[in-house]
Amino acid sequence: MGLNRIEKTLKVDIVIPFDSAKSLQAIHQAIVVDQKHQPNKKALVRTKVQKRELIMHISAEDIPSLRATLNSNLRVLLAWKRIAEGIKKRIIVNSDC
């Protein structure tokens, strides 16, 4: 007697708040480019902007694909955040001169 495998799509929705509408639009436009040519055939990412939030809908065929896609997109957002904070600090320092 064999086990029946249940095929089910895994889904996760992530809501990321932004302080700046300009930053939100910039990161959204960067992520949308990747949506046109998804690197992982087993996962799908869709994003939308709602007020000052970036909403990411990720669906995948399996847990490793979901994890890889989630981690990849979160790394992009973290890199953006670090760059934006660095630029903001330089602008503040330069305006004090």
pLDDT digits (tens, 9 = 90+) for 71-80: 988 998 889 8
What's the pLDDT at 1?
Answer: 44
- Mean pLDDT, residues 54-67: 94
pTM (two decimals): 0.74
3-state secondary structure 33-93: HHHHCCCCCCEEEEEEEECCEEEEEEEECCHHHHHHHHHHHHHHHHHHHHHHHHHHHHHHH
Mean pLDDT of the chain: 84
- Mean pLDDT, residues 6-16: 87
